[in-house]
Chains A and B, each alone.
Chain A
Amino acid sequence: MNTPNSTNTYPHAPGFVAGERPRIVTSRFEHADSYTLQRYLATDGYAGLRAALGRPANEVHDEVKSATVLGRGGAGFPAGTKWGLTPQGVFPRYLVVNGDESEPGTYKDRLLMERDPHQLIEGCLIACYAAGLSQCFLYIRGEMALAQERVATALNEAYAAGYVGKNILGSKFSLDIVLHWGAGAYVVGEETALIESLEGNRGMPRLKPPYFPAAIGLYGQPTIVNNVETLANLPWLMRNGAEAYTAIGTKTSPGTRMVAVSGHVKRPGVYEIINGVTTFRDLIFNEEYCGGIRNGNKLKAFVPGGGSAPWFTEDQLDVPFEGPQAGAAGSMLGSGAVMVMDETTDIPAAALTLTRFYAHESCGKCTPCREGGTWLERILSRIVDGKGTDADLAQLVEVGTSICPGDFPHASSKRLGLDAVPFPYKMNTICFVGPSAYAPINSALVLFPEEFAARVTKRTMIPVTAVGAAS
């Protein structure tokens, strides 16, 4: 509707913006029928699977390992290494596909499921073949009706055509892929909560250790949980090889990744960028991407990696999409979601929209998150409404510190003469929901203290009895 460059935005995949950059996972998005088996087969579909099945499983695993396909769900752990964490000789092993995408600002997996479901299915098949996983459960977020319909249709087509099920392509490789869908709970994106949910339980994260469900996962068996985008990389990788894959991007962050840029930019959209090379400045200001801030306004701050990530300002624009560099700068790349705030943004109110999200989504298992998240939301609401006092500011920090002890990561600021505190944080909770409720508040308080100072009133102590009056 109000997209400046509408020729690049396909009406059937709103949000996605094409370009002349290498495209590994979005190569079919410009076709109106990109989700059909017919289109898929006409554009190298299932050729990666055929290439994989022509080699022993351990060789396919090695190929993925040497390509260093970083996990695209948030933690950035290499997929090939993760597959290798399953204990030797313990079977059955399962694959659970994390399509429960709900991190604020993120929506690459939804597009991949809606626009290219066969690519995801092919990725699942390659992963199961390589790592010896005997059943695959594809868990799609409950609210994503179209994604569920497209993946269900694609699976039905793929079963009928012999790409999924018994003796795939006439080989000895047999695999069922089961479509599973959720019912609305952010925390289920945490991999052990995802497994709980898949077992028919309340979606609460499991106690750690074990740190990876690769050791003990679904039904107590070794389980690999991979993100949708991670798996969507595998067909291209098997067709073109690890060498071609690592030729894109940098040594530590090869390939591409999808990033959704939303908020106050001229051309918000989902872009496939080059890992390790593209910087936040490129993404926000270059014409081939977002083309700068709306109405010629100034950039105030941006969230670099989904709602859980500490914020950056113009001082961090030259940080590339490279995990360790973003970490040293005080944040994380997370799930590939940038939310941009211009100079008109009310910072405490913006932080509240995120804190409210995490307070609402707390599963209630850990006290610091269950109680702390709600406290943070209430105190911040009070401040945003102009009813806060300076004691409330101290209370925010106290509650935040009870969720995450020690220094909370934040970016450096030239304006305030501040050094960065690198990622990650220490936490008193099992998963990242609790810390995520505090992350926006800490960033807002540290980087924009004046906006809070202007908002709160000084609290004057009015003692009931004047000090010294009793004597």
Chain B
Amino acid sequence: MARLSEENVRLANEIIGRYPRARSAMIPLLHLAQEQDGHVTNEAMTHIGELVGATSAEVYGTASFYEMFKFEPVGKYLINICGTMSCALMGAEELMHHAEHRLGVKLGGTTDDGMFTLERAECQAACTEAPCLQVNYRYRFRVADADFDSLVDDLKAGRLNDEIPAHGTVARVRQHIPVDRGVGAVPPEDVTEAPTWMDGKAAL
């Protein structure tokens, strides 16, 4: 739908400036695009290519490798139910079955009202709290069928708006390096010397 907004271009340039090579900012900028539009648009990928010095095909090539980037709209809430071993041992298949019935969609589908997309995730790193799920990458642990139902009700009623942002936003805190505190990134070819502190003496 859209290229990056003026504010996002400012953020993008701040992010690019932290890396010795601009292309390293590609994944963070794709997240920025997805945060802006809910999914990654062709126009945004072209724009990112211009910002980091890559063709739009290269940007799509990178983006399409990664599970989190969506190229079509998904629900406001992306529900990822873990299906790997620890969760499977504790009833993840049954939970998935319940979720399909509760939402009225099959695995991978989006509800008609555009609220929910249901996916199966691979291990989400909460194995002792199985079965677990993530809603827009926020955890729910040891989820029983009733917990799933109340989660859906709460999301529909907007009761979790403070905790769970709409799909696209992952972290709500950004790193910011103050100009007077940052060392600054230098292309590798401009550095040949050992860092100053490698002189055999204590730094303090």
Q: Would A181 and B182 count as touching, CB distance under 8 A?
A: no
Cβ contacts under 8 Å, B142 to chain A: 1-2
CB contact under 8 A between A339 and B137, given known A105-B127, A219-B188? no
Q: Would B203 and A184 count as touching, CB distance under 8 A?
A: no
Q: Would B85 and A353 count as touching, CB distance under 8 A?
A: yes
Cβ contacts under 8 Å, B171 to chain A: 145, 148-149, 152, 181
B181 within 8 A of A: yes
Q: Would A143 and B68 count as touching, CB distance under 8 A?
A: yes
- Bound CA–CA A104/B83 (angstroms): 10
A160 within 8 A of B: yes
Quote the shortest CB–CB distance from B2 to chain A (angstroms): 20
- Bound CA–CA A112/B65 (angstroms): 27
Q: Which of A336-386 contact B (CB under 8 A)?
A: 337, 339, 341, 345, 349-350, 353-354, 356-357, 360-361, 363
CB contact under 8 A between A307 and B182, given known A178-B18, A263-B90? no
A87 within 8 A of B: no
Q: Which of A176-201 contact B (CB under 8 A)?
A: 176, 178-186, 197-201
Nearest-CB residue, chain A, relative to B122: A357
Q: Would B125 and A110 count as touching, CB distance under 8 A?
A: yes
A303 within 8 A of B: yes
Binds A, one of B3-11, B25-33, B97-105: B25-33
Interface of B is mostly: loop
Q: Would B191 and A92 count as touching, CB distance under 8 A?
A: yes
- Bound CA–CA A54/B196 (angstroms): 15
Q: Which of A94-118 contact B (CB under 8 A)?
A: 101-107, 109-110
- Bound CA–CA A220/B121 (angstroms): 34
- Bound CA–CA A150/B173 (angstroms): 8
- Bound CA–CA A303/B204 (angstroms): 47
Binds B, one of A164-172, A398-406, A450-458: A164-172
Cβ contacts under 8 Å, A201 to chain B: 62
Q: Would B183 and A198 count as touching, CB distance under 8 A?
A: no
CB contact under 8 A between A165 and B127, given known A92-B188, A144-B137, A357-B122? no
- Bound CA–CA A351/B183 (angstroms): 49
Quote the shortest CB–CB distance from B47 to chain A (angstroms): 15
Nearest-CB residue, chain A, relative to B19: A178
Q: Which of B52, B186, B201, B202 has the most CB of A within 10 A?
A: B202
B84 within 8 A of A: yes
Q: Would A339 and B85 count as touching, CB distance under 8 A?
A: yes
Q: Would B203 and A200 count as touching, CB distance under 8 A?
A: no
- Bound CA–CA A14/B201 (angstroms): 44
A129 within 8 A of B: yes
A45 within 8 A of B: no
B107 within 8 A of A: no
- Bound CA–CA A107/B132 (angstroms): 13
The listed residue (B80, B89, B203) touching A339 by CB distance below 8 A is B89
Q: Would A303 and B28 count as touching, CB distance under 8 A?
A: no
- Bound CA–CA A172/B121 (angstroms): 46
- Bound CA–CA A135/B126 (angstroms): 31
Q: Which of A236-256 contact B (CB under 8 A)?
A: none
CB contact under 8 A between A57 and B66, given known A92-B188, A200-B54, A357-B122? no
A and B contact pairs by CB, cutoff 8 A, 5 listed: A53-B203, A89-B194, A102-B123, A176-B182, A200-B52
Interface residues of B (CB under 8 A from A): 18-21, 23-28, 30-31, 52, 54, 61-63, 65-69, 80, 83-86, 88-90, 121-130, 134, 136-139, 141-142, 170-178, 180-186, 188, 191-198, 200-204
Given contacts A186-B123, A199-B23, A262-B130, 14 further A-B contacts (CB under 8 A): A14-B129, A57-B198, A57-B203, A106-B123, A107-B125, A132-B197, A143-B68, A145-B137, A148-B170, A164-B181, A181-B28, A185-B65, A261-B128, A263-B130
